[in-house]
Amino acid sequence: MTDLCSLTLKEAIEFAKKDGAQPLLEAFQKRATALNPKINAFLRFGAAPINKREIPGLLQGVPVSIKDNICIDGREVTCASKILAGHVPPYNATVIEKLKSAGATLFGQCNMDEFAFGSSCETSAFGACRNPWDLERVPGGSSGGSAASVAADMTLAALGSDTGGSIRQPAALCGVVGVKPTYGRVSRYGLIAFGSSFDQIGPITKTVEDAAILMNILCGHDPKDSTSSPERVPDFTQSLKRDLKGLRIGLPKEYFIEGIDPEIEKSVRAAADLYKKLGAEIKSISLPHTEHSVAVYYIVAVAEASSNLGRFDGVEYGLRVPTKDLREMYFETRDQGFGQEAKRRILLGTFVLSAGYYEAYYLKGQKVRTLIRQDFEKAFKEVDVILSPTSPTAAFKIGEKVADPIAMYLSDIFTIPANLAGIPAMSVPCGFTSGGLPIGMQLMARPFDESAMLRAAYAFEQETGIYKKKPKL
């Protein structure tokens, strides 16, 4: 008998058409109940039984999980923070409406770094999430629970959000596929904001085809989001072809730097060689302002975070610490409600926006951000897709970088530039370290050309079959 939890999303849709989605739901409920105490990928999971044999819509009632910073009507949503304990949104995010219209069953809410601040899923107020490939290691962050739940076959697919690499980096560390769409391609309405000019919701899946199926559902203009693009949405599954003739792939020299794990560099360069065999043209390119991307991100993104998190003050919703006067209530609620990393970023952001420092930091950061975007515009005149490592290291040990914020921030050195430029990017499994940990490669494309990126990812995935290897749990 088929192990229902090992099915891909595409296979599960076909199964549900024939046998209904209830057996799938029961299988995932059983697996999540058994494995979640070890992995802590879900903060909450479970769904009501499905009465009908079939639910209309492409997804046929199959279970999909959601990062805990996306609003779901009537369900607690906390951003893995104490300050939002008991917060129940009275509305659905647009992506939730789209999933429901497609017939999906919302299965679980996934653990994450608090307010999406982190690269390891250790800053959650509800305990660290663990990597299914090695329970002593991190799954990456901030969408660590989403990636771990997919890698451990506890869900068919999950939604994450990506501000500086938060879909791609955990996808790489957990050996799954993660897509950050072009900024504006997917509505942010109902996503609890971290960096409003960076954030994008995207899918984390077992295969590239599964990601394309979800992209078809999630993308499109939304009048509720002023940054949502009216750009036409193609059928992304139509771009999944194995023929790469004529595709130009760029290797940026700035992404193969000192400090990168040699096994990761070797694996990504081997992927470039395979692309050549598949008919693509490989070119060396330069993105000269890459070295400034982490510094720029930790000025501009934290400024936006400080501004966005000002609304969590104990007045309207979430935690309120009772005190004798209003001013003290603000201080105590925010002090007790936010974790260390959230406080660090709020303080940094408030500093760079303060009088006398705004021009020196924030304004200068925005100017360098423009230069980084221009680097990509120039590169995409020569190539169609850019190939790089997703992360400079494989999954590191839990606790290894917690005391060193700079080392943690550098985990996103290869993913941040795509967010600064607003371009689409994705991570695809491309190999394993000698210790058996997954390695991910990153593909980036022109704005709104997710099709080229998915085409390159699909051809590689089908040629290698790396996605078929699973962690032993």
Q: DSSP of 393-411, one letter per residue?
A: SSPPBTTSSTT-HHHHHGG
* 224 noted as active-site residue: no
Residue ranges with strand state E in 209-319: 248-252, 281-285
* 142 noted as active-site residue: yes
Neighbours of 472 (CB within 10 A): 6
Neighbours of 420 (CB within 10 A): 29
Strands 63-67 and 157-162: parallel
Whether 121 and 131 have beta carbons less than 8 Å apart is answered as no
* 67 noted as active-site residue: yes
Neighbours of 286 (CB within 10 A): 13
Name the DSSP letter for residue 53: S
Strands 425-432 and 438-445: antiparallel
C-alpha pair distances (Å), 262 with each of 45, 268, 406: 39, 10, 21
Whether 114 and 123 have beta carbons less than 8 Å apart is answered as yes
C-alpha pair distances (Å), 291 with each of 49, 218, 229, 269, 294: 51, 33, 29, 21, 7
Which residues, 6+ apart, have CB-to-CB distance to 382 below 8 Å? Answer: 248, 250, 283, 285
Active site residue: 65, 67, 98, 391, which one? 67
Q: DSSP of 131-155, one letter per residue?
A: BTTBTTB---SSSHHHHHHHHTTSS
Active site residue: 65, 124, 149, 166, which one? 166
Catalytic residues: 67, 142, 166
